[in-house]
A and B are shown apart, each in its own frame.
Chain A
Amino acid sequence: GDSVTQMEGPVTLSEEAFLTINCTYTATGYPSLFWYVQYPGEGLQLLLKATKADDKGSNKGFEATYRKETTSFHLEKGSVQVSDSAVYFCALKAGANNLFFGTGTRLTVIP
């Protein structure tokens, strides 16, 4: 079945450090891939998406490239800020309009 495997956390980085959160997936067909972010006490916010192979999603300095050959969608940011501290979820949709989520990665950025 469809599934997402996400890098275990928590991740703690200093401000301005480089961020990578790994995400790989298993799906039939050609899924759409997403990264969502959840701030404390809030719902999920869509961070970026990619709908086909080699697409790059980007938003607020975050990027992720849809790699079909490695079934991956790793999240990257060149310079993290304290305000980026949150839980990040990788997710996919394949065939039907429901999301399969990874387990989430908690990021803490310290000044």
Chain B
Amino acid sequence: KAGVTQTPRYLIKTRGQQVTLSCSPISGHRSVSWYQQTPGQGLQFLFEYFSETQRNKGNFPGRFSGRQFSNSRSEMNVSTLELGDSALYLCASSLESTPSYEQYFGPGTRLTVT
């Protein structure tokens, strides 16, 4: 079974631009979560989507948004990029939206904002 895939793997953007990242979960998984990883703040939860609905949201500004499609694929969008948004963005999928299910991570999208 294929793992979680994320596209693109690398991205360079300029301050003020917006960006869209894509995540395809493991087949059959209905929950998709997004995390931001930076050297300073570590791994932080952005949001979770389940059955096309946002179930949970971390403490990030409204510039960060996401959505999920009927096939469980998910996208996250960051508008008005800032230098501090440079990070590795990780997507994780799980079968259901309950704590006892493992989350499986993709390889990440490394975003650089210049």
Contact = CB atoms under 8 A, between A and B. Distances in A.
Given A46-B103, A97-B99, A99-B35, A104 B58 contact: no
A102 B42 CA distance: 8
A29 to B, nearest CB: 9
A62 interface: no
B15 interface: no
Interface of A: 31-32, 34, 36, 42-46, 49, 51, 89, 91, 93-104
Given A42-B107, A44-B90, A97 B42 contact: no
Contacts, number: 63
A97 B107 contact: no
B56 A101 contact: no
- In the A-B complex, the 4 residue pairs with the closest CB atoms: A93-B99, A101-B43, A43-B105, A44-B105
Interface in B45-94: 45, 48, 50, 55-56, 58, 90, 92, 94
Contact of A32 (B43, B99, B104, B106): B99
Contacts of A44: 90, 92, 105
B66 to A, nearest CB: 13
A98 B56 contact: yes
A101 B42 CA distance: 8
Given A31-B99, A98-B45, 4 more contacts: A44-B90, A44-B105, A51-B100, A103-B42
